[in-house]
Each structure stands twice: as structure tokens, then as C-alpha cells.
Chains A and B, each alone.
Chain A
């Protein structure tokens, strides 16, 4: 399996960050950064990372299953994450999520038929003082109203 030169360079750099013989430490960063390019944590990708770090695929699988941001099933090009945890809930996060569900016709961790948008109800994303918040991929949107959400979602569809 091959990656873009930029990602290859990133991988090559990553393994130098950890003490000799501890290159397994690069596993989670490799999966996170690789997922952006590959789209999801595919079996092939897991095998490749395992090979590069001297692990077996099961060891990678153990890790992938643990972390909520590593997706074996591909999410949409725009992954819309709505926080409904307490701070956001107090300011309308749950309603915002319901609104997004209806608007997109998607449920938790579902992907639109065209693969462009996916939706996820997420736990606290660290935007409590500016709630309710959503993330589209890694971009934060703070104090989001339903109207603003509509605008954001419209923007993604273009």
C-alpha cells in the first residue's frame, strides 16, 4: 500500500519521535493522519501500518476498536459532529443534533448516499464555553444555532 509523498514523509518523521525500539508509539498518529487520506481504517491500511511498525494486524485492530475517532467504516467527506454533552445540552445541543438528523436524513454515524456528509453525535469536544458546538471534520463551529447549522450544511453540499 502506498501513500502520498507528504504522508510518507510524515510517517517517516513520526517514527523518529520515539525512543529506539519503541516505534509502536507512532501507531495512533499514523492511523489518525492516514485515515484522513485513506478515508477509513481499512484492513489493508491496518496491515500496512502493522507491517511498518513490526506489529501483527490484530494488535492494530485492538487499538482501532478502542478509539472513537478511528473509523473502520468510512465517514463522509464532511463528517458533521454535534456535541450533546451537558454543557452543549444546556444550550440546545440535543435539539441541534435532532435538527441535523432531520435535515440530513441521517442518524448517528450514518453517511449520506453520495458519501458527502456523515453525522455523528459526539461527546464533549472541548468547546463548552461556546456551546452548542459542532465540528465539521476538524473545524470547530461555536454557538451554533439551527439557522447557522442549516447554512453550514448547505455550504457542504456545494
Chain B
């Protein structure tokens, strides 16, 4: 791209020919204010805040739509420009209600900020303001038309960003307002992006409304605990209560993207059924409340007595890497068992083995935004992997990426796909084969596959990819926030941390089915969900969880655990990117799983070393291949670093394991969903896959 010389406010700068003036100015530290201009979205030129003076132009020009050209001379702070901004703000404020003291947005409102910086101090408007009542469009979305400045950001983020298009504009002139998809209400992803992107308090959140002033919150940047995509979320915490989740600072792999779960479904932390004290099954066979010391003592004694090969351990897809690592270490050493597993939701193991001897072929979330082509196999990405879907949509929008889908039913990605193949999941590979010619013409490709591709099929898919003759990267989709970390940390009956072979033990299903199982320790998992039962009726069962799940109801001892929003540590997302969890709120009555494991070890007289997240992460970094070269400063400052599992030396699983995605939708993630009031409220119709 050719460079041109542009003079802004007397300073000569170089810029790419045709770049938008507003961006060129920003790159050179000059702010051209705007409401409707939003990086990455289509241009509107509607708010007129960005008008600047361009030499030789007969009138002020909109900086947001003005491509720079050689010799252009621009003034952004000249008298006509300053006056134009003042008057535009005066026009805006004429109808805008000045109800800032009771507006949720007060304190972080762009209109306030703009008026503060560019506006005039007084109003000349003495007429009656246009008023229409506020409307509620869904449990989470409220719309106050008088506050709306019609910047159309919400319409664009919904349509272009989310691919939903549930917001529109109707009426005209001063009566123009935003309208929802279904007449008087919204039927959409309920992601709340529209609320976040609203520069004023026109769209407000049903969760956050009137809860707090923005400056009274602490802002804690952590990682969403729901799906596997690992979006960074900034929790707004007030009085030890999470009142908001968003990512307005655009930090992390997700930028400002969050789905309904990331933005709202933190409310499970406050659910009244949240366990706050340990439970022990009494003589009458009922679970009764007990002190931590009594419960820990009982469990430690029992564990010591029952340790051995018939001890089963089921780990979690949500607990931290540190907790998972410590759990398997404890199980394999102190408890002397190889029967360790977790709910496996995607075949990462075979992928890593298939890529044996190769490097750089595991895609990051960013790769989905930059790759020239993406192939989605057997997954309803927008429902199950919302961030990845969002990255692909942005890639299409900004780079015209080629998208191909091979799915059993309609998916949102079809709309942007070059080619969409409809084929039963079992025949996915045949569908992929149909795309061979098209794919081989692409410059590069990322292949994303769901749980229908496992075992031998993964090898076939990789063989297909490698035969295309172009650079190919892969993502094996998994379900939960730390599904990938559970695999990486060796919560597997035949593989230890870093996919190193260990002596084989029972798989999860084998543990459930084995009548001889002496004890079962379930950490943050609910294997008995859906009416399943434990074959070993005498097994001593200990469950660590947030709620009294089906599995917890079978337990002899239940230990209340902290959620991901209540602890520190690291998690690894679906693309193998490691990120840091930061404690948002203190727990009441419950303890972090790491602490529980440590206390049990101490109770058993086992020395696990220093049990805190940082120390164990250091141990992981020192001992787990793939985690040993992670740049700590990046992780500590909230960045994401991809692990590099050792490609090779992973033997095929000798233990028949079950890999099955829970087939969650946008509105569900396992047990947690049930305890999120808001997720249950927003469902007009439950999200469904392939429909």
C-alpha cells in the first residue's frame, strides 16, 4: 500500500493511501470525536461529530468516511470545527433527557464525556422534549428511546458482529427509533452486545439496572467460566457481589465480545441453593450440615483407608489447571490409583498424536480472524462456540475469508459460507471430501471439528488436511471453560500431564460401571446427571461442588466449592490458550478446590508441597511439556498464550473412553446453567442446535 503525506493540524504525517482520516488521526495521537464511527463496523457518517476542516473542500468533511490522499491538509481543532462540534452536541442534547443522575450510564457515558470535552456549558433549548416511554424487550434488554442518539452501533453489532440482525430502525426523523426483532420484544442471542456498545444509557441491562454507580464498582478482569472459548470478562463487583460482566476495555482474545453466558450468567454465584457448608450423610442416610474440620477429617481418614487401585477420581472441566494438576498428582501418588478421568467432550488427544512431529498446526482464536479460509465440521459454532463463530464472522467482514461448513443441519455460518454441505454427522468426512477441490485452491485453512470426529476419523481428517498442499491448522472443539486444561493436565486414565503415557486405569464410564469401586472422588463434575447411577453401591463418594447436584445427592460427603469467579489460577481454552483467573469475590462458606485438595492432603499426612496457585503453576511450567515456555508476564497481565503440546509420543488410547459433547447451546452450560436465573429467564425458545 502506497504511503501518502497528510498534514493534520500543521504536523505532516504519513499514512496509507485511502485510510480513513479518523484512523490516521488516531494513529498520530489526535482524537477526532465520533459517536457513530466504530472500528470494525460499517460506516454511517450519521452523528456528524467528526466533521473536520479540509483545505480546498467547500464545507466541513466527515473524518469517518474521508479517505486520506496525498497532500491533504486537515485541521481538527480550528474554529469552524470546534463550533460545529459544539452545535452538534447542542442539537443532540436538545432532545436527550438530562437524567444523568438516575441513568445507569452516568459516569461512563460517551455523551457526557463528549459534552465535557467538546460541548458548551449551557443549553439554549427551552422547548418541550420529545418523550416516549421506556420499553422492555427481554429480561436483559431495556430501551429508552428518548436517550437514544441514533448512532446505529447496536444495529450494526447485532447484524454485523453477531450475525443475528435482531435490531432495526423504524419511523423517521425525530420519531426514528430502534426496534426489536419481534414487534414488542427481542428474539435473539440475548448477548447484550447492543447494551455494551450503546454510547449512552439508551439500552440498559436488566441485570445491572439501578444496581450501582459505575465508580462504586471494582473491576476484575478474569475469564468466563462457561464454554471453552475463554473470553476475558471484566466483572463489576460491588459489596462482594458481581453486578456486571463485560469487556469494554477490549482486552483479551475476545475484544469486547461476550455471549449471554459471559455477560450475564455470573448470577449462579448468588443462587440461594449455593452450598455454603459441608454435608455429611448421617446414620439416617440423610445429608446433614457439618463443620469443615469434621468433614475434612472424615474424608481424609476414609481416603487413607480406601487408597489403592479401586479408588476412582473424576475431575472437572471448570476447575483451574493448578487444581487439575494437583488432583491428578494427588490421585496418582498419594491415592495410588490410575483411575482418573473427566467428562471428555472432544478428541484433542488424537489430534495431537496425528500431528506428531509437526509444529504450529494448532490454531488460536486469532487465527480464525486472520486465516484466509475456515472449514467447520460437525459443529453448530454460533450455539456452541460463540467466540470462535464471532471471530469467523469478523474475518469474513474484514478480510472476506472463505468459510465452508459441513453440518447435519442449518447453522448461522451457512449464511456467510462459500459452500455449505448438509450431511449427517456420521458422514461428515464424506462431506469434507466434497470440498477438496475448493479447499485446495485456498491459500491457507483452519479446520474446526466437533465431537462427531473422534478416533480414527480425526486421523482421516488430518490426513485430508495435510493432503491439500496448503498450510492447515486445526481446532478440536471441546465444551467447557477448562476442558482443554483437564486434558493437558492429565485428567485421563492413560495419560498424565502433557499427554505422557502412564499406567492405564478406569475411564469415567468404567468407574461408574465397576461394582468393585471402593471410593469415588468427584471434583466439580456431575457424572450422575440424567438419572445415571453408580454400580458400586458401597463406594464412599465425596463430591466437591457449588450445588447439590445429582452426583452430590449420592455423596457421603459434600464439600462446597468456590466457583471460577472466586479464585485465582489459570485455565486453558479450546485453542490451548492459557489465561489467568482472577478472584472477583470472596466465598462464603465454600473453599476453592485447590485449598480443599491441600487440606485433605494435609489431613492424610501427604506432602504436596506449597499449595497455592502460583506455586503450582510454577511446578506445571517446570514439568508439563507445552506449559514450560509460557511467557509469564503475558499471562500475569491478562494475556493469552498458546501452549505447545508435544506432538508425538502420545500413544493411542488403550482405554475405551467416551468422548461426547454435552451439546450445550448458547443458553446452557451443564449444571451451572440451571442455577443461573437469568439464563432461564431469557429463553423465549430454548436454543437449539442445527435449526
Contacts and interface: CB of A to CB of B under 8 A. Distances in A.
A–B interface present (Cβ within 8 A): yes
A56 interface: yes
Interface in A57-105: 57-59, 61-62, 64-66
For the residues of A in contact with B, the DSSP-based class is helix
A57 B183 contact: yes
Nearest to B171: A65
A62 B183 contact: no
B510 to A, nearest CB: 49
B169 A62 contact: yes
Contacts of A64: 170
B172 A65 contact: yes
Contacts of B183: 43, 57, 61
Q: Ordered nearest first, which 7 A-B pairs have the shortest CB separation? A: A65-B170, A62-B168, A65-B171, A58-B168, A62-B170, A58-B181, A66-B172
A62 B165 CA distance: 12
A56 B181 contact: yes
B467 interface: no
B2 to A, nearest CB: 35
Interface string A24-46: 00000000000000000001000
16 contacts: A43-B183, A56-B165, A57-B183, A58-B165, A58-B166, A58-B179, A58-B180, A61-B168, A61-B170, A61-B179, A62-B168, A64-B170, A65-B170, A65-B172, A66-B170, A66-B171
B172 A58 contact: no
Contacts of A57: 181-183
Contacts, number: 30
B427 to A, nearest CB: 29
A86 B667 CA distance: 57
Interface of A: 43, 56-59, 61-62, 64-66
B410 to A, nearest CB: 14
Contacts of B168: 58-59, 61-62
Given A56-B165, A58-B166, A58-B168, A65 B181 contact: no
Nearest to A67: B172
A145 to B, nearest CB: 33
A152 B321 CA distance: 84
A56 B181 CA distance: 8
Nearest to B186: A58
Nearest to B170: A65
Given A61-B168, A62-B168, A62-B170, 10 more contacts: A43-B183, A56-B165, A57-B182, A58-B166, A58-B168, A64-B170, A65-B172, A66-B170, A66-B171, A66-B172
Contacts of B179: 58, 61-62, 65
B653 to A, nearest CB: 47
A56 B182 CA distance: 9
Contacts of A56: 165, 181
Contacts of B180: 58
B537 to A, nearest CB: 55
Instruction: Among A43, A57, A61, find the residue whose CB has the most chain B CB atoms closer than 10 A.
Output: A61
Nearest to A66: B172
